[in-house]
């Protein structure tokens, strides 16, 4: 099915006419560079169809209109290519008219097609806030040394003579430049993955309806066409050459053999639509002249809306078009770079970034900072900070004891007066100080919403990817952690998840166990794999010792796949590592390192650091008792198969708090019942300690 879909939808059609659109060749280029791209297109199409099956938008209902912020990147080598602001704004106006079906030439839509003419409830606007939340007119310009750009996305990166994309979840990106080969423009189909190339590219000669706009493509319909592709519309004839077997995957567009040029007379018939109203040559997704195009259909509008809702819903709620209002006096905290993660000696030197959000120059501000809600320390900053400028400030050191801490930092009294907006004054950071580790066992199932868990830390090398909590898969409970290596294309990048430090002094035979799920990527002869390495650090700033390394077949928990891997309940494996060589160390942190190979998704769950010898004895006790049901709903039952040794039994939460405690009296076939009906859903630990010192530790999931 994959090959059929790709073959029908993305077939390159060679034309002798001017290349109205470059998306076919561009898509083939993307596939040649990354075999996963074809898979993502197929998965995205499945997602679109699922959305359409479950939803429908009446494009004529006149409901709410959603604003989509736009940034236009103008890249020029000659003065002519540096198109005017007015020309840019003319294109935005055209997009709004065309997508809302407010264009004057709707009167040219044939009567037979008017009943299916559709619109989209969106209003495009030039952004008024840039990614740094500074005022902008939504137009970014760069003089380049590049004469012409091709289909390889070089205009989308500053390093190759272009301009970098703005966050595609906040802005729709348009690049205007000189394109080689007579191509008017090209878009990029959505793939379900946030892409640093997503947007449209338009040649400067075919953008807007004034200035450099060149007939017969001088009414801005090239951008309308290419935005259609970005919102998952296909060419109306189905890209199947001249046969009638292709499809644009929309029901209310007539079958059509091939593209049209110029402006045919109505009705126009072909072998695929030989009667009635003929082919819909005036559709924006055909290749006719700009003054011939005038409509989308309702089905196309539904399909575009489904793409926005499925892949870029944040665009509909972005604040990037909200006017930027500067108050006279407004200072605040934008970032706290220190302390974060683990601090080694308890002497904490905070580093904070302050910003002058006000219109007036900031000459002074008080910076207040406290630990765990204690009395604040104050630091009086002085200088000269222009409007919207930032400054990094190193604050005097403070001392924190062992444990997990929260530091709050906030500003007050800018220029000695009242701050006119206190909403942006403060920030906080969580950090930990451990000169000695905590007692074992440590059990982490990542059920709490906060990530990383208290005392744990992450060191992610990628800006967009790294260790994250997910609810999409788990070996026990509802959550796990993962690295999205399927979309993470940075081979060799290392991302670390560091456990809370533990104290192994006096342990008999400590070990760490964890559940892992992974599948290598494989499509045809192309196979890529990532690696999981586990290391141990024996001091806060010590050298890491590798104790585990697996990749490829050794790491796989299912057969390799071309699709993004999400494990089922049976596709997990429990691995264990002997930590006996670290007995006696009072500070041991276990580091789980994902090493990227642009392969597939890696998952971890149910990480346990414990005294292995005690648990080995506990294994014998497990053979004598049944614990059910697990997961538990209203009640947990411990049923002894014979006579148990007397002792204590308790249920604790992930923070180590005792939720329930009782006695094992040692009677024959003893049954203990623990009510779980009122417990919050999550992971708990059942701990049995016999009088002889034997221990049974069992992880319990409570679900309601």
DSSP 628-691: E-SSBSSEEEEEESSBPPPEEEEEE-TT--EEEEEEE---BT-EEEEE-TTSPSEEEEEEEEET
Q: 346 with 399: CB under 8 angstroms?
A: yes
Tell me the average pLDDT across 555-575.
94
pLDDT at 7 over 50: no
Q: 125 with 321: CB under 8 angstroms?
A: yes
pLDDT of residue 412: 97
* Strands 139-143, 66-76: pairing kind: parallel
pLDDT of residue 696: 67
pLDDT of residue 507: 85
pLDDT at 127 over 90: yes
pTM over 0.85: no
Residues 6+ apart with CB under 8 A from 597: 485, 491, 492, 528, 529, 530, 531, 551
Residues 6+ apart with CB under 8 A from 364: 380, 381, 382, 383, 413, 414, 415, 416
> How far from the centroid of its chain's Cα atoms is residue 572's Cα?
24
Percent of the chain with pLDDT over 90: 71
pLDDT at 178 over 90: yes
pLDDT of residue 32: 92
Beta strand ranges found along 565-634 (DSSP E): 573-578, 589-595, 602-611, 625-628
pLDDT at 284 over 90: yes
Beta-bridge partner residues of 391:
354
> How far from the centroid of its chain's Cα atoms is residue 59's Cα?
29
Q: Which of 45, 188, 226, 259 is catalytic?
A: 226
CA distance 67 to 69: 6
- DSSP codes, 412-457: E-GGGS--S--TTSEEEEEEEE-SSPBPSPEEE---SSSSSPTT-E
Say if residue 44 is preceded by a cis peptide, omega within 30 of 0: no
Residues 6+ apart with CB under 8 A from 259: 13, 15, 20, 235, 237, 286, 287
Percent of the chain with pLDDT over 70: 92
pLDDT of residue 245: 80
pLDDT of residue 624: 67
Tokens of 188: 């990029």
Of residues 634, 681, 682, 688, the one with CA closest to residue 654: 682
CA distance 54 to 70: 29
Pick the CATH number of 331-433 from 2.30.30.140, 2.40.40.20, 2.60.40.10, 3.40.640.10: 2.60.40.10
Residue 624, sorted as left (phi over 0), alpha (psi -120 to 50) or beta, turns out to be alpha
The DSSP letter of residue 273 is S
Residue 416, sorted as left (phi over 0), alpha (psi -120 to 50) or beta, turns out to be left
How many CB atoms are closer than 10 A to CB 634?
12
Write out the H or E segment, with its range, that includes residue 5.
Answer: helix 2-9
Least confident of 429-433, 568-572, 597-601: 429-433
Q: What sign does the CA torsion over 355, 357, 361, 362 have?
A: negative
Write out the H or E segment, with its range, that includes residue 409.
Answer: strand 403-412
Tell me the average pLDDT across 530-542.
91
Within this chain, domains 2-240+296-317 and 624-702 share the same CATH topology: no
CA distance 250 to 411: 55
Q: 495 with 462: CB under 8 angstroms?
A: yes
157 HSE (CA, 13 A, CB side): 8
pLDDT of residue 691: 66
pLDDT at 643 over 80: no
pLDDT of residue 655: 53
Class of domain 442-609: mainly beta
305 HSE (CA, 13 A, CB side): 25
99-118 burial: b if 16+ Cβ within 10 Å, else e:
bbbebebeeebbeebeebbb
Burial of 579 per CB tally in 10 Å (0-12, 13-18, 19+): buried
Tokens of 515: 């559940």
pLDDT in tens, 576-634: 888 988 999 999 999 999 999 999 999 999 999 988 654 544 444 556 678 888 888 99
User: Between vectors from CA 338 to CA 332 and to CA 344, what angle results, nearest 5°?
Assistant: 155
Burial of 385 per CB tally in 10 Å (0-12, 13-18, 19+): buried
CA distance 516 to 548: 13
pLDDT of residue 653: 72
Phi and psi at residue 317, in whole multiples of 5°?
A: -120, 10
Please state which CATH number belongs to domain 2-240+296-317.
3.40.390.10
Residues 6+ apart with CB under 8 A from 289: 216, 217, 261, 262, 263
Q: 624-702: what fold?
A: Immunoglobulin-like (2.60.40)
pLDDT of residue 1: 32
CA distance 236 to 273: 13
CA distance 544 to 397: 28
* Size (the chain), residues: 704
Q: 583 with 477: CB under 8 angstroms?
A: no
Tell me the average pLDDT across 26-46.
92
pLDDT of residue 3: 34
Q: What share of the chain is helix, strand, coil (3-state, %, to 5)?
A: 20, 35, 50
pLDDT at 4 over 50: no
> Where in the chain are the domains?
2-240+296-317, 331-433, 442-609, 624-702
Least confident of 42-51, 267-276, 539-548, 612-621: 612-621
Sheet-wide strand order for 351-356: 331-338, 351-356, 390-394
For this structure, is 226 an active site residue?
Answer: yes
* Average pLDDT of every residue of the chain: 90
How far, in Å, are 24, 106, 245, 557 from residue 7 at the CA level?
11, 34, 12, 32
pLDDT of residue 623: 65
Least confident of 191-205, 354-368, 671-685: 671-685
Tell me the average pLDDT across 478-501.
95
Least confident of 9-13, 250-254, 268-272, 322-326: 9-13
User: Between vectors from CA 175 to CA 123 and to CA 318, what angle results, nearest 5°?
Assistant: 35
Least confident of 398-407, 466-475, 652-661, 679-688: 652-661
């Amino acid at each position: 099915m994959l090959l059929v879909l790709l073959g029908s939808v993305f077939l390159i059609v060679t034309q002798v006419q001017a290349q109205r659109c470059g998306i076919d060749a561009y898509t083939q280029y993307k596939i040649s560079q990354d075999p996963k791209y074809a898979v993502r297109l197929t998965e995205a199409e499945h997602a679109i169809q699922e959305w359409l099956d479950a939803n429908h938008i009446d494009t004529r209902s006149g409901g709410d209109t959603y604003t989509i912020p736009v940034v236009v990147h103008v890249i020029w080598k000659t003065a002519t290519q540096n198109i005017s602001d007015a020309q840019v704004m003319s294109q935005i106006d055209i997009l709004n008219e065309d997508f809302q079906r407010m264009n004057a030439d709707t009167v040219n839509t044939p009567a037979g097609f008017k009943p299916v003419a559709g619109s989209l409830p969106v209003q495009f606007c030039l952004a008024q806030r840039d990614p740094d939340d500074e005022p902008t007119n939504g137009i970014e310009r760069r003089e380049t040394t590049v004469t012409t750009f091709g289909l390889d996305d070089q205009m989308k990166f500053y390093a190759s003579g272009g301009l970098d994309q703005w966050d595609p979840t906040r802005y729709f990106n348009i690049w205007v430049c000189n394109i080689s080969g007579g191509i008017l423009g090209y878009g990029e189909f959505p793939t379900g993955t946030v892409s640093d190339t997503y947007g449209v590219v338009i040649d400067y000669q075919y953008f807007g309806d004034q200035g450099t706009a060149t007939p017969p493509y001088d009414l801005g319909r090239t951008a309308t066409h290419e935005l259609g592709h970005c919102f998952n519309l296909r060419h109306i004839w189905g890209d199947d050459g001249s046969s009638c077997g292709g499809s644009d995957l929309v029901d209310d567009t007539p079958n059509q053999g091939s593209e049209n040029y110029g402006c045919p007379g109505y009705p126009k018939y072909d072998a695929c639509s030989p009667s009635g109203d003929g082919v819909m040559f005036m559709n924006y997704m055909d290749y006719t002249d700009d003054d011939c195009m005038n409509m989308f259909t309702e089905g196309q509008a539904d399909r575009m809306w489904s793409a926005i809702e499925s892949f870029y819903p944040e665009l509909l709620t972005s604040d990037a078009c909200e006017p930027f209002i500067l108050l006279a006096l407004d200072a605040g905290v934008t970032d706290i770079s220190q302390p974060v993660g683990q601090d080694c000696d308890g002497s904490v030197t905070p580093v904070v970034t302050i910003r002058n959000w006000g219109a007036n120059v900031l000459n002074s501000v008080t910076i207040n900072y406290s630990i765990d809600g204690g009395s604040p320390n104050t630091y009086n900053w002085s200088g000269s900070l222009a409007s919207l400028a930032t400054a990094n400030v190193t604050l005097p050191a403070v001392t924190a004891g062992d444990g997990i801490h929260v530091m709050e930092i906030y500003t007050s009294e800018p220029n000695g007066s009242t701050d006119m907006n206190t909403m942006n004054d403060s920030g906080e950071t969580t950090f930990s100080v451990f000169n000695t580790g905590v007692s074992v066992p440590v059990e982490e199932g990542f059920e709490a919403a906060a990530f990383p868990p208290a005392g744990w830390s992450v060191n992610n090398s990628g800006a967009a990817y790294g260790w994250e909590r997910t609810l999409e898969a788990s070996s026990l409970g509802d959550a796990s952690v993962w690295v999205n290596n399927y979309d993470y294309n940075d081979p060799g990048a290392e991302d670390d998840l560091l456990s809370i430090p533990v104290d192994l002094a006096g342990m008999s035979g400590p070990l760490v166990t964890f559940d892992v799920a992974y599948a290598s990527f494989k499509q045809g002869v192309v196979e890529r794999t990532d690696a999981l390495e586990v290391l141990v650090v024996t001091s806060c700033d010590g050298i890491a010792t590798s104790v585990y390394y697996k990749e490829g077949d050794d790491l796989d928990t299912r057969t390799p796949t071309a699709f993004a891997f999400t494990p089922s309940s049976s596709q997990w494996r429990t691995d264990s590592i002997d930590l006996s060589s670290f007995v006696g160390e009072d500070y041991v942190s276990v580091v789980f390192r994902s090493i990227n190979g642009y392969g597939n998704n890696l998952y971890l769950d149910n990480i346990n650091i414990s005294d292995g010898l005690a648990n080995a004895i506990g294994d014998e006790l497990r053979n004598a008792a049944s614990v059910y049901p697990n997961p538990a709903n209203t009640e947990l039952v411990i049923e002894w198969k014979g006579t148990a040794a007397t002792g204590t039994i308790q249920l604790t939460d992930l923070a180590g708090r005792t939720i329930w405690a009782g006695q094992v009296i040692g009677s024959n076939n003893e049954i203990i019942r623990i009510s779980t009906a009122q417990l919050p859903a999550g992971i708990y630990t059942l701990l049995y300690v016999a009088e002889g010192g034997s221990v049974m530790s069992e992880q319990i999931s409570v679900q309601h």
